[in-house]
Amino acid sequence: MDTGKKTARKVTEAVSPASAARRKFINSVAAAAGGGCLLALGAGLYSKSTSALPAQALRPPGALPEADFLAACVRCGLCVRDCPYDILKLSDLGDTVATGTPYFTARKIACEMCEDIPCVKACPTGALDRELTDINQAQMGLAALVDHESCLNFLGLRCDVCYRVCPVIDKAITLETQHNPRSDRHAMLLPTVHSDHCTGCGKCEKSCVLPEAAIKVFPRALAQGALPAHYRKGWEEKARHGGSLIGEQVELPVRGFEGPTAGRSATETVLAPSAPAPAVQAPSAPAAPKTPPGINSRWKP
């Protein structure tokens, strides 16, 4: 056994010192390259797994689109230091946000929208774009009223808190009046978000009075849909050109609906056959059940 080993070693040595050195060199290079590549690959895979921004994390104002942001941000935290309200925080290892990058969570604390935008000025790399000089143009995220079932205004109550706290009130959030089919005699004032004015500061989500906010602010990519680029809205084109671009169309009657408008063409003037003029209605029997227009909620006073 011993002799066998010795012969083997002798043979190896006999090959030539140069080839032995070469073998050792190749071995060590292979090990080093393998180890290095494995570590780098691991880091790369980990970075891929967390490169999608989670729904509740909002970037500071002026942040580049997420992919570009992750290339530009050096995770120095200068924006965090210069935020006068301590709103921003750096992501910790294991958070779903890329390690060391700045973000804030609207429900915890919302952006105060400083007019001089100190966080953007602090950024040394341009991950926060200095092109943003008017904070009202910021697009940190987009609010969406996600839960129509628990929103108090949708229940017909007058909460309005998200609307009142909005720094871009009446532009980013408006109250749209709608008939309340449940009471049949009241209005619902529905908070409605407009994407061209919403900065995503998070005030509405922060202030929502419910235990779980009915209005939430998401990164724009999550909150916003997009029409296909080739879509044209007929009514807009019509207005722009001062008339239909495809000439007069045959108007077909609307069928399949029960009720006062059934069978009438869309363009036909409403004669309201079921709702006689008030002058005629007044003397008629007041107890007669009247079918109101719209959805019948079966609500009786």
Binding site for another protein (CB under 8 A): 28-29, 31-33, 35-37, 39-44, 46-48, 50-51, 67-68, 70-78, 80-82, 89-90, 92-95, 98-100, 122-126, 130
And the tokens for 150?
Answer: 């628990």
Which CB, 77 or 292, lies closer to another protein?
77
Which CB, 96 or 174, lies closer to another protein?
96
Q: Minimum distance between the CB of residue 54 and another protein, rounded to whole angstroms?
A: 15
Is-contact 263 253, C-beta < 8 A?
yes
Is-contact 175 163, C-beta < 8 A?
yes
Q: Minimum distance between the CB of residue 26 and another protein, rounded to whole angstroms?
A: 12
3-state helix, strand, coil in the chain (%, to 5): 30, 10, 55
Q: Minimum distance between the CB of residue 132 and another protein, rounded to whole angstroms?
A: 14
Which distant-in-sequence residues (6+ apart) come within 8 Å of 80 by Cβ? 88, 89, 90, 102, 119
Which CB, 93 or 288, lies closer to another protein?
93
Is-contact 140 60, C-beta < 8 A?
yes
Give the span between the Cα atoms of 77 and 140, in whole angstroms: 18
Which CB, 99 or 150, lies closer to another protein?
99
Which CB, 21 or 209, lies closer to another protein?
21
Q: Minimum distance between the CB of residue 52 and another protein, rounded to whole angstroms?
A: 12
Q: Minimum distance between the CB of residue 24 and another protein, rounded to whole angstroms?
A: 11
And the tokens for 60?
Answer: 């500071």
Closest CA to 99 of 107, 89, 109, 108: 89
